[in-house]
Amino acid sequence: MELIDLNPDYVVVDLGCGSAFFTVPLSRKVKKVYGIDVQKEMLAFLEQKIQRQKIGNIEPLLSGKDEIPLENESVDLLITVNTLHEIPNKKKIVAEIRRVLRPKGQAVIVDFKKEDTGFGPPVTIRVSQDQARHLFEEKGLTALTSHELQHHYLIVFRRV
């Protein structure tokens, strides 16, 4: 989280929010967070967290594998952690990410390095940092920064 520039006025998407590991902390720093996932069970888990912690600025949304159920240019920041390798149609989801980002909006992509880490998804389905960069740049997003983490990479893209 410390590697991400957050603004209190931001509308943020946590794409593939899963157990809401990032969704809830994000909600404390921005105006609104959409927790989006393809699994109803994960969204039910998120709903329980929202109710238990009385959080008023998170909206859970169910999505398809390569769609984001939001309006065009409605998001300032989108974060997705350990999901890019799971998405079947990567070009389509990147186009969707670009579609929902406002001009100059940012996408933060965190995923496993394409190497054996001893855990996580099979190396064969992982997306390398170079592959991720190419996917996003061909859809009109520019890489601003990148960070090598222990088992992951983080790339920040901006919609141009």
Per-residue pLDDT of 44-85, as tens digits, reads 999 999 999 999 999 999 998 889 999 999 999 999 999 999
- The percent of residues in the chain predicted with pLDDT above 70, rounded, is 99
Q: How far apart are CA 125 and CA 59, in angstroms?
A: 30
Asked if residue 21 has pLDDT above 90, the reply is yes
Neighbours of 124 (CB within 10 A): 7
The letter for the amino acid at 86 is E
What pLDDT, on the 0 to 100 scale, is given for residue 126?
A: 98
- The second-level CATH assignment, the architecture, of 11-159 is 3-Layer(aba) Sandwich (3.40)
Measured CA to CA, the distance from residue 132 to residue 111 in angstroms comes to 9
**CB proximity list for 107: less than 8 A, separation 6 or greater:** 77, 78, 79, 80, 97, 101, 136, 141, 156, 157, 158, 159
Q: What is the mean pLDDT of residues 129-133?
A: 98
pTM: 0.96
Q: How many Å from the N-terminal Cα to the C-terminal Cα in the chain?
A: 23
Query: 4: pLDDT confidence band, cut at 50, 70 and 90?
Result: confident
In the predicted model, is pLDDT for residue 97 greater than 80?
A: yes
Q: How confident is the model at residue 3 (pLDDT cuts 50, 70, 90)?
A: confident
Radius of gyration of the chain (CA): 15
Q: Which helix (H) or strand (E) holds 149?
A: none
Q: 160 pLDDT band (50/70/90 cuts)?
A: confident
CA pair distance 54, 72, nearest whole angstrom:
29
